[in-house]
Amino acid sequence: MSWDPELLRRQRRRLALSLAAVLVLALAGFGLIVYATVSHTLLVRSDAANDLAADAMQTAIGWQPRPSVDRPLFDEEAAEMVQAHGLVVAQLHDGGGRLVYRRGHAARVLPLTAVSRRTETGRPSLRVLQRDLRGPSGERMTLIIACDWQGTEQALHEALLRLIVAVAYSSGAAAGIAYGLATVMMRPIRQAFDHQQRFIADAAHELRTPVSILNAHLEVARDEPSAPPLRTSLAAAVKAGHRLTRLIEDLLMLARIDAHRPDVLPFRLDEFLDELLDDYSFLAQEAGVTLGGSPWPAATITANPEQLRRLLANLLDNAIRHTARDGRVTVACDVQSDGVGLTVTDTGSGMAAPELARVFDRFYRGKQPVSRSGGSGLGLAIAKAIALAHGGTLTGDSQVGQGAVFTLRLPGKHVGEGHPAG
């Protein structure tokens, strides 16, 4: 799959718009919650003030004879209450609904309704409380009081307008933040695509070389009638075919490691290392390199034995290939409660710091002054991938002329004692 810069821009815009929409909705929702909370609080306070005023008036008239428009017995007290409680109007109706008392500066008479609390719109806007009363002689009366709601309503409208303006300004900031977040979030995707492109290009280059060699020697074998050149070409073709096979196997191994978690099982670490060094002793002997290791602790490790063998085999193969004759390769094992450490040390030519920094990169091959054969550049990359798949680490340390040390660390959950269960 080729990388399309326009696709990145489209996805970034889409992601930025989605993030901006979420942020704006969150801001708008927060603003609405604030507005609703403030509005409800003011409404509750207004109703509480009306309740206090109604209680005071009920106390003033509850023990008086039935008042009338001609002789309001509590007119003076009511006037003081209207002024003290900031009421716009106070009305009293008899059982038949007739207005028997009214005090205040509202222009209109408030109607009797079935609703005990309501808001009367108009000029001015009023918050109204209606309460049914019963006099000492059993007569029924209805008290209506109202306070000015217009000022509060206007303040709420202004607050709502300010919230809308604040959300509008915040939306611009949210868009900028969302675009920045989208850019940061898309960066790993871009890096992954770039990494994939480099990997494909490197793989194509590595595959092209043995295939070209294979084709060239097969053409010689086809056109050359004499036996010795034919055998030489066929031998070279077989060698190129083997190299191609190893490269394909390495690529498949990397793909499997990247795609799946390893299947693990417990096995004896000391027996595992003994078998591994026995297998590589002949290769080391042919190279004139001494291969050895310290006594292994009797411990059980839980890992994928095939992958762990591949990891250590790659380290040993790399160490033997880069160590001159009469050199030494040593394997050490350290088992602790917090994990196990496996170290492969060689006395080879070593590496400079720039090479060491890239030694685990796929298809990277540094300077190889004493290397006996060129590898694919995937051995240490595979080893690193296996270590990471097991939750461990693989690190390297080297200096020019002083050899190299590669250390594998696996966490404590992989280590046990004695023989494996079963």
**Angle, CA 31 vertex, CA 30 and CA 34 arms, to 5°:** 85
pTM of the model: 0.51
Span 235-266, pLDDT tens digits: 777 777 777 777 777 777 777 777 677 888 99
Q: What is the CATH architecture assignment of 5-160?
A: 2-Layer Sandwich (3.30)
Span 183-215, pLDDT tens digits: 787 777 777 766 766 666 666 666 777 777 777
Instruction: Cite the residue boundaries of each domain of the chain with CATH code 3.30.565.10.
Output: 263-417
DSSP 421: P
Cα dihedral 251, 252, 254, 256 in deg (nearest 10): 170
CA-CA distance, 286 to 77, in Å (whole number)? 119
Q: What is the CATH architecture assignment of 263-417?
A: 2-Layer Sandwich (3.30)
CA-CA distance, 36 to 42, in Å (whole number)? 10
Q: What's the pLDDT score for residue 415?
A: 61
Span 290-309, pLDDT tens digits: 999 878 888 888 899 999 99
State yes or no: pLDDT of 271 exceeds 70. Answer: yes
Q: What's the pLDDT score for residue 375?
A: 59
- Give me the mean pLDDT over the 153-168 stretch: 84
The neighbouring-strand residues paired with 396 are 406
Span 351-406, pLDDT tens digits: 888 888 888 887 776 665 445 455 567 888 889 989 988 889 999 999 888 899 99
Instruction: Cite the residue boundaries of each domain of the chain with CATH code 3.30.450.
Output: 5-160
- Give me the mean pLDDT over the 331-336 stretch: 90
Task: Render the burial of 281-301: b for 16+ CB within 10 Å, e for the rest.
Answer: eeebeebebebebeebeeebb
